[in-house]
Each structure stands twice: as C-alpha cells, then as structure tokens.
Amino acid sequence: MRLIITATMATLALASVARADGERIAVFTKNQTNPFFQVVRLGADNAARQMGATVTHYIPTRPDSIPEQISQIEDVTVRRPNAVVFTPVDFKALTPAIRRLNEAGIPAVNMTDRAERGNFVAFVGAADYDLALTTARYLFQKMGGQGNVVALEGIKGTLVSTERMRGFTDALKEFPNIKVVATQAASFQRLAALQVMENLIQAHPRIEGIFAANDAMATGAIEALEAAKRQSLVVGINGTKEAIDAIKAGKMLASGDYSAFLHGCFGMMAAIRNLRGLPVPREIVFPARVVDNTNYQSLDIAPDQMTCPAWDSVVTPGRS
C-alpha cells in the first residue's frame, strides 16, 4: 500500500526517555454508536499487543459529547499515560483541552479527525475530501451521469462533514445532468438517516442515487428503501464490515474505504515509536479507494481477526 506522507520527519522528541515496552497509551474516540470507531479501537489494541504496550480507551457515553471528552482529557492529565492517541469529537471546541494536554507534556497523535490546533507528534488518517470526491464520482458514473440524487450529511459544522460534502459538491460539477433533490443532515447516525429517508422517499417519487457521508447513514437509507419497496444506488464512506456485507448482498453500491483498522494500528504505532525514539512522519494519510463488488475481498474479514501490518510495509520514510 502506498501512502501520502507529507512534511518532514517528526522531531525525535523524548528520545532520552525511550522505552523498550510497557508504555501506557490512552486512546480517545468519538462514540460507541458508529461501527467505524469500534474497528479503530481494535486496530489500536492489536498494535499495542504487538508492541507490548497497554491501552486505556476513553469514549464518551453520549455520542460525540464535547463536555464529556473535555472531562476525559482532564482525567488523563492527572493519570498521565505515556502518550495519547486522540480523535476530537469537535475539531474546534477541543482546542483549549488539547492545549492543557500539551502543557502537561503528554505527547499526542491526532487520529482520524483533524484537530484545528494543538501540538501533535503526527496526524494519522484519511483525506475526507478525496474520499468523498472519489466515491461520489463513482456513484454518478454508475447512474449513467443523470438522475436524481439525495445527499445525507453528517454533523453540520464538523470538519469531516464539511470536507465530505465539499468533495460531493465538486464531483457533482462534473455531471451537469445529475440533480440534487435534497441534502439533509443525519448526524452520521443510522436511525437519523432512516427517519430522514422515510420522509424524502415520500416527497420524491424518483431517487436514483443516495450519497451518504458515512456507512451508518447509508445503512439507514437502505432500510428506508427496503421498507418502502424502492430502489436506489446507495454509497457510503468508511468501508465498514457492515458496508462490505451490504455490498456482497447487492444492497449497497460501494463505500469509500476510510481504513478504520489502519487508523488504529498506525495511530498507536506512531505514538509508541515516538516514545521509543523511532522516526515518525508528521502525516500518514491513507489513499482514497472505492470498495465495490469487484474488490471487497480484502476487507471481508471480521475486524477482531485482523492483524496490523508492519510499519515499514506501509509507511515509506522520507517521502514528501
């Protein structure tokens, strides 16, 4: 796998306190409702086991709760793990909490969702804009370049949702005969998407395509279509096992592969490598890839059976 790696190699911070193993790593993710983050956590756990580290997971009990994640960061500054792997529930609102984490001297890796500010060892994730552009373009091509489409947004105002909708909009410019009949937010949640699509199906007798900004919403859209005995081409983003099963069953056209397991693997590896004085690129960005019924096999594995690939087999040092 080839990666997009930008910027120079990270400073070998903390080399003087490099450890052989036994590091304690705190991993922050956004919720327990999106299957994507469950797979991220499995990737982090797998990498930690391979490298002899221990993991504590911090997950808001209320999905994407800003106050709860702020409180969890305050807890971490007291407990002082060796490093943090961090996904902010909001790219702006967590800035003061990240500043406190930096002031506490705890090295942090930014994973999956970019934080607006803060000092991080590295960013590990995917390019939301590229994924949405590629996946939407694929949908429009499969629609034959014409017809009505619905877009399901994530949480309005978040960086992930904004970038994915920007990719969708730019792909749309290439297909002048595709008409957007509705764009509505469904908060990246399956149930919300189901309810939104139930209303849209009643309002619009023809919907040839549905672009969902994540797989959970795509699943909700499919459930609404099945209940109404309607058919549309549906795409999502994340490449979750749930999406792969839907693609195999012919219910879902495709998903943009967000590489959840690799996020966890390489977020954890980057944190540990930094502690051990090993080189870490400032950015590890996985390439955009559409998964459909021709190439899903590599992701058709139960997440708890996956194994993190070796660092050097994925990350190419020095590439910029």
Q: Does residue 309 lie within any of the structural domains? A: no
Q: What mean pLDDT do residues 210-234 have?
A: 97
| Residue 43 sits in the same domain as residue 94 | yes
Report residue 173's pLDDT band, with 50, 70 and 90 as the boundaries.
very high
Residue 106 sits at φ, ψ, to 5 deg, of -95, 115
Residues 164 and 240 in one domain: yes
Considering the domain architecture, whether residues 143 and 168 belong to the same structural domain is answered as yes
With respect to residue 15, please indicate whether it lies within any of the assigned structural domains.
Answer: no
Would you say residue 103 lies in a domain?
yes
- Sheet hosting strand 147-153, strand order edge to edge: 178-185, 147-153, 209-212, 233-238, 254-257, 290-291
The rounded distance, in Å, linking the Cα atoms of 98 and 190 is: 30
320 part of a folded domain: no
Stretch among 2-16, 67-81, 169-183, 282-296 having the lowest mean pLDDT:
2-16
In a domain, 52, yes or no: yes
CA 163 to mean position of chain CA atoms: 12
pLDDT category of residue 209 using cuts at 50, 70 and 90: very high
Place of tokens 């994730």: 125
Where residue 16 falls among pLDDT bands split at 50, 70, 90? very low
Instruction: Write the CATH number for 276.
Output: 3.40.50.2300
Residue 310 lies in a domain: no
Domain that holds residue 66: 24-125+260-286
| E strands, 173-294, in order | 178-185, 209-212, 233-238, 254-257, 283-286, 290-291
How many domains are there within the chain? Answer: 2
250 located within any domain = yes
Question: Is residue 76 included in any domain, yes or no?
Answer: yes
pLDDT tier at 318, thresholds 50, 70, 90 = low
Please give the structure tokens belonging to residue 242: 């749930």
pLDDT tops 80 at residue 21: no
Q: How far apart are CA 105 and CA 2, in angstroms?
A: 33
| Joined tokens for residue 139 | 């949908």
Q: What is the mean pLDDT of the chain?
A: 91
Tokens of residue 296, six digits: 């899903």
176 lies in the same domain as 114: no
Residue 9 pLDDT grade (very low, low, confident, very high; cuts 50, 70, 90): very low
**Mean pLDDT calculated for residue range 36-45:** 94
Same domain, 38 and 98: yes
One domain for residues 217 and 160: yes
Residues 6 or more apart whose Cβ sits within 8 Å of residue 176: none
Query: If 0-12 CB within 10 Å is exposed, 13-18 middle and 19+ buried, where does residue 278 land?
Result: middle
